[in-house]
Amino acid sequence: MKSWLICIDDTDDIGTKGTGEIAEEIMDLLNSKALGDHVEGKVRLTSSSAWVTRHQLFVHPDIPYTSHNSAMCFEILSSLTLAEIKDICVIHLKAESALAADPGLAIIEKSLLTTSAIQRLMAFGFETKRQVKTKSDAYELAANLGIDLSEHGGTGQGVIGAIAGIGLRLSGRDGRVKGQLDVGLTNSTKELMLSVHQIKKLTGLDAVIELNGFLLNDEESVLVSGKIKAVLQNNQFALLVYQHRDELTGEPSWRNALKQQLKNY
């Protein structure tokens, strides 16, 4: 069994299926491939692979994007070959990407990455959050590091975000988990006071972390409400929280991060 990182970018257009949804579908297809072949464990998600992470890239007039310019990355533990994995990814990308999209796909077996290669990928990823990069930049890096990088429609501009997303995921400190977490909120119960232990048990998260990186212990309580979103921080999948002081009592309490606070991820 080998651990693989897979990232896609630039698959959608206004009013079409989002890149994150397509990434989740590809992950499910890889898992279903194992079941269809009746080979137990041929493809299994690692504990962290259940999460597709969204990585925000540079927003600039010279960069074409749909709405936010973000890449989507996930990890699988699999005995499928690179060719088998890529075939599943490409077929689905071609079937589901918008006609006006410029899809890119990056795939790498993690054990093949040296420490130096990881550092170079991370550097490229963070540069892509604040600089305009080119396809040539992306392909040169991929060739040097052994990343399988390919384009599947349009201009193929998505290869830039695809390889950048691999680097950002590897950093362990960038990315927002796609979707919302279910902690039991309903239309009638719009907020809940939960312990950190309960939050981790309900969601499968690794930790609850304060905005500046402080790790909350299992006994501390958090008032959760609204959209419950997780981030990748300190190489852990975590709920990000901030300290709120009650206007009437002055008492401080932990609350899940607001939309504005999550924008950094």
- Say which residues have a Cβ less than 8 Å from residue 85's Cβ, sequence separation at least 6: 4, 6, 30, 76, 78, 107
Where along the chain do its domains lie?
2-176, 180-262
Label residue 187 by pLDDT band (50, 70, 90): confident
Average pLDDT score over residue span 201-222: 95
Residue 123, pLDDT score: 98
Round to whole Å and give the CA distance between 265 and 67: 16
Mean pLDDT computed over every residue of the chain:
88
Q: What is the pLDDT of residue 263?
A: 82
- The answer to whether residue 42 scores a pLDDT higher than 50 is no
Least confident of 21-25, 29-33, 67-71, 154-158: 67-71
pLDDT in tens, 18-37: 889 999 999 999 877 755 55
Q: What percentage of the chain carries pLDDT values higher than 70?
A: 88
When pLDDT is averaged across residues 44-56 and rounded to a whole number, the result is 70
pTM of the model: 0.88
Instruction: Check pLDDT > 60 for residue 40.
Output: no
How many angstroms separate the CA atoms of 96 and 90, rounded? 10
pLDDT band at 11 (very low <50, low <70, confident <90, very high): confident
Residue 80, CB half-sphere, CA atoms under 13 Å: how many? 27
Helix, strand, coil tally for the chain in percent (to 5): 35, 25, 40
What angle separates helix 115-128 from helix 135-145, to the nearest 10 degrees? 170
Write out the CATH class of domain 2-176: alpha beta
Question: Token pair of 218, please?
Answer: 């299992």
97 vs 242: CA distance, rounded Å: 37
Please give the pLDDT value at position 7.
97
Burial class (CB within 10 angstroms; exposed 0-12, middle 13-18, buried 19+) of 193: exposed
Ranking 86-90, 159-163, 253-257, 261-265 by mean pLDDT, the lowest is 261-265
Per-residue confidence (pLDDT) for residue 50, from 0 to 100: 67
Q: Is residue 218 scored above 80 in pLDDT?
A: yes
Token couple for 233: 């921080």
- Residues 74/105, Cβ–Cβ less than 8 Å: no
Is the pLDDT at 235 greater than 60? The verdict is yes
In this predicted structure, the answer to whether residue 9 has a pLDDT above a threshold of 80 is yes
Helix and strand numbers, DSSP H then E, in the chain: 7, 13
Per-residue confidence band for 248, with pLDDT thresholds at 50, 70 and 90: confident
Residue 156 has pLDDT above 70, yes or no: yes
- As a whole number, mean pLDDT of residues 236-242 equals 95
Return the structure tokens found at 188: 């009638």
Would the CA dihedral through 196, 201, 204, 206 be positive or negative?
positive
- Say what the pLDDT of residue 46 is: 45
Is the confidence at residue 246, as pLDDT, over 80?
no
Minimum mean pLDDT range among 162-176, 221-235, 237-251: 237-251
